[in-house]
Chains A and B, each alone.
Chain A
Amino acid sequence: MSPTIDISDLGLDRGAHLLIKRALRNVAVGAKIGVRGSNAELGVHLPAWCRAQGHDVTRANGDDTWWIVRSPVEEGRWRGAELAGEANPQSAGAVADFPKASWGLAARGATVEAGAPAFQFALAAKDLLWAEEAAHLYQQALTAQWNPNDAIDWSAPCELADEIEDAVVQVMTYLIENENAALLVPARFLGQVHPHFREVVQLLSIQIADEARHVEVFTRRALLKRERMGVSTVGGQASLKTLFDENEFAVASFLLSVLGEGTFVALLHFLQEHAPDPVTRQIAKLTARDEARHVAFGMAHLQYQLKHDAGLKARLAAAVEHRYTALAQTSGLNEEVFDALVLLAAGEWSPNAIAVGFNKVQTLKDEMAQGRELRLSRLGFRDGEASRLAHLHTRNFM
């Protein structure tokens, strides 16, 4: 006997179709259900709804029950649907090597109706951007987020001699320019990543948010005692432009994260130790922690891709060389920034103090080069090559 439901006075304009669809799901295609109800417009809306859904509907004269025959339409709609991988990245085969364009924006692990439009993501191959550590790094990034209003004591004593304050403002101005690059370079790639690589999209997104926060705190520190920023130089922007114009994700993340941000971690540690005021030191400490995470993702991804892409190592080396050549005629780190760093480390104007400051900055540059060499070795560059490339890196640091 065909099942019959009573939808009482509920109309199809108020959700009755949910009850009808539910009842239809419980019978086979071609089988009938009965629908009874007292809504005044049932006789208008039920046949119209059935017609739109492809179900036949009849009612015998004098009968108070409408009979709906379940059409094959709904079942047919899911024929050829496919599973877009698995949500849990730990499941075998969860992350496809080449997710389909037609999976589009669907959640990884969703059942995707056949015939969906193709989304042409330029970065749609696992080799091009995956890192096994991405999920873990994302979680780490989430728990390490900080609010500039609470994490930094903006009212801490910060009375510096005018020229020292000027030096701090110049360093902040320089940092903002570089952080703009660190924000926009991943942002330009983010929109090209197939969202199937959920963890990578999430991690890049939070990385971009990190940089937005860094731009904020550097700006706030610069304007703490001053109304105007420092200078921006042709050499500094020329260096960043060679990074900004890089079109390959792997090469860009190599130049940005492994070489640039890696170098910046050393610079921020330097500021954490030598900055003349507590606000700048706190800022340096917090931003260095974020930057270290960005370096970790760049390293993890490149280690993954280098395993699968035999030609990548040569492209990375060529990118450093190309950039070196392109920047050979520029002045390197702008003098204003270099002098400001020396002055910060000196803390005062006596010749002895300046000598000490100068040495500290020289030591910083050596440490930066050593750090780059170490990371290049971890990526599989032999000692001599790692050292050579480490020293070819832009003198602008980023």
Chain B
Amino acid sequence: MRSQTLVMGAVAYAAKVVTIWDGFKEYFVKQGLEFDYVLYSNYERQVEALFDGTLHVAWNSPLAWVRAERIARARGAPVEAIVMRDSDCDLTSVVVVRSDSAIHSLADLKGKTVGVGAVDSPQATLIPLDYLRDRGVTPGTDFKVRRFDVLGGKHGDHIGGERDAAQALMAGEVDAACMIDGNHLLFVGEGTLPQGKTRVLAQTPQFDHCNFTVASTAPKDLIEKFRTLLLAMSYADAEVRPLLDLEGLKAWKPARTSGYRALEKAVDITQFYDATGNIRVADYRY
């Protein structure tokens, strides 16, 4: 690794990821920051690369952040979240039922089947299931969980699992389905969920999504330049606007880590990772 080049990791959850980071790379280099990126097929290997000297910074899912933070604490090599998207803040997930369903309260879920996303999806599996557990209906005990595992290791970035759960809901294969709030709007808009045929049974409190996670060994000056360039990107700039559109944001914001508590708790309860960041969950293929 050339010491003057900032190396970032990203997970290739879709083909557009190459377009996005090639575009950002060109932009950063033009702005005087030597930048390169490495693509990973899953977040687990990317997080590990933050600690073996391969990466200076990782574009992490919230679950990857949780794991990085645990490994960092265990090793005494603290990581820092520096920047996130405006669209990473204040998300909620919803539990959706068919509008003619007899399920009107969380207690009505008892004995039913709830469709969720991939095993590692914070928004479509971990957070909503923990929300239900907190309110007295325990996954696997009070109701059956049917997982729609699409592309393990991508932490639910791939929307396919949520869409499969939504389709299963309409097909009558599950009684409820979990998804991110914006995807409910999207699925109704695209027709996956027929308009007026679903009802939102429950909505979780707000939580946050991705962030740029910086390794303790990353060169401070390059990280500072990276942070400054990101925060200066404007949607009014035609050169970066297509990249922002592809990455799904209107502006970068300084990161906060206060929005990951619900996920941390869900990770603990399910023993997805242990306190030092080892993967403990069964049936997790990536």
Report which A residues bind B (CB closer than 8 A). Answer: 12-14, 40-41, 43-45, 47-49, 51-54, 71-73, 75-77, 79-80, 113-115
Contact = CB atoms under 8 A, between A and B. Distances in A.
Contact of A51 (B182, B188, B203, B234): B182
A73 B235 contact: yes
Report the 9 A-B pairs with minimum CB-CB distance, sorted nearest first. Answer: A76-B236, A115-B238, A54-B250, A114-B238, A48-B182, A13-B188, A48-B181, A79-B236, A73-B250
B195 interface: yes
Interface stretch (B4-12, B57-65, B83-91, B155-163): B83-91
B189 interface: yes
Contacts of B92: 44, 47-48
Interface in B78-100: 86-87, 89-92, 94
Interface string B176-200: 0000111011001100000100011
Given A45-B181, A45-B184, A113-B238, A51 B189 contact: no
A53 B86 CA distance: 10
A48 B203 CA distance: 12
A48 B87 CA distance: 9
B251 interface: yes
Contact of B182 (A43, A52, A72, A75): A52
A115 B250 contact: no
A68 B185 CA distance: 18
Contacts, number: 70
B203 A80 contact: no
Contacts of B91: 48, 51
A76 B87 contact: no
Contact of B185 (A13, A40, A72, A79): A13
Given A45-B185, A48-B182, A40 B86 contact: no
B242 interface: yes
Interface string B203-245: 1000000000000000000000000000000111011011000
A49 B86 CA distance: 13
B97 to A, nearest CB: 12
A13 B195 CA distance: 7
B240 to A, nearest CB: 9
Given A115-B238, A115-B242, A44 B250 contact: no
Contacts of A14: 195
Contacts of A45: 181, 184-185
Nearest to A12: B185
B236 A44 contact: no
Contacts of B241: 77, 115
Interface string B12-44: 000000000000000000000000000000000
B129 to A, nearest CB: 18
A12 B189 CA distance: 9
B200 A52 contact: no
Contacts of A40: 199-200
Contacts of A77: 235-236, 241
A115 B239 contact: yes
26 contacts: A12-B185, A40-B199, A40-B200, A44-B94, A45-B184, A47-B90, A47-B92, A47-B181, A48-B181, A48-B185, A49-B182, A53-B250, A54-B235, A54-B250, A54-B251, A72-B235, A72-B236, A73-B235, A75-B236, A77-B236, A77-B241, A79-B238, A80-B236, A115-B238, A115-B239, A115-B241
Contacts of A53: 250
B106 to A, nearest CB: 16
A80 to B, nearest CB: 5
Nearest to B188: A13
Contacts of B235: 54, 72-73, 76-77
A34 B236 CA distance: 26
A45 B181 CA distance: 7
A80 B250 CA distance: 17
Contact of B203 (A43, A72, A73): A43
B237 to A, nearest CB: 8
Contacts of A76: 234-236
Nearest to A75: B236
Contacts of A75: 236
Contacts of B236: 72, 75-77, 79-80
**Residue of A47, A48, A52 most packed against chain B (CB within 10 A):** A48
A44 B184 contact: yes
Contact of A44 (B89, B195, B200): B200
Contacts of B184: 41, 44-45, 48
Given A44-B92, A48-B182, A52-B182, 18 more contacts: A14-B195, A41-B184, A43-B203, A44-B181, A45-B185, A48-B185, A49-B185, A52-B248, A54-B235, A71-B250, A73-B235, A75-B236, A77-B236, A79-B238, A80-B236, A113-B238, A114-B238, A115-B242
Nearest to B182: A48
A240 B91 CA distance: 67
